[in-house]
Amino acid sequence: MAKKVWAWLVPLIIVIIILAIVIPLSMKPTAPTTKEPIKIGAVLGLTGPMAGLGEQFKNGALLAVEEINKQGA
């Protein structure tokens, strides 16, 4: 009885492994079709006791956006 189970179980496992490798390789990545701007949001404390840090984080994020846009990414 055990030999009958192995007779179909081993080929089945081999097929599953092959499919698990072949299917992701056959999928082509798709590039975005539109050139819409990417929107990024942040939750920052701009008032109250965290205002000092919030302003610094906001300025850092704006600087990063400027640098990324200059590179054309």
In a domain, 34, yes or no: no
In a domain, 21, yes or no: yes
In a domain, 10, yes or no: yes
Q: Indicate the number of domains in the chain.
A: 1
User: Is the per-residue pLDDT at 33 higher than 90?
Assistant: no
Q: How many CB atoms lie within 10 A of CB 5?
A: 9
Average pLDDT for 32-44: 81
Cα separation, 73 vs 70, whole angstroms: 8
In a domain, 9, yes or no: yes
In a domain, 33, yes or no: no
pLDDT of residue 1: 62
Cα separation, 73 vs 65, whole angstroms: 10
- Residue 30 is classified by DSSP as -
Please tell me the pTM assigned to this model: 0.48
Mean pLDDT of the chain: 86
- For 11-21, how does the pLDDT look when each residue is reduced to its tens digit (9 = 90+)? 899 999 999 99
Domain that holds residue 66: 2-28+39-71
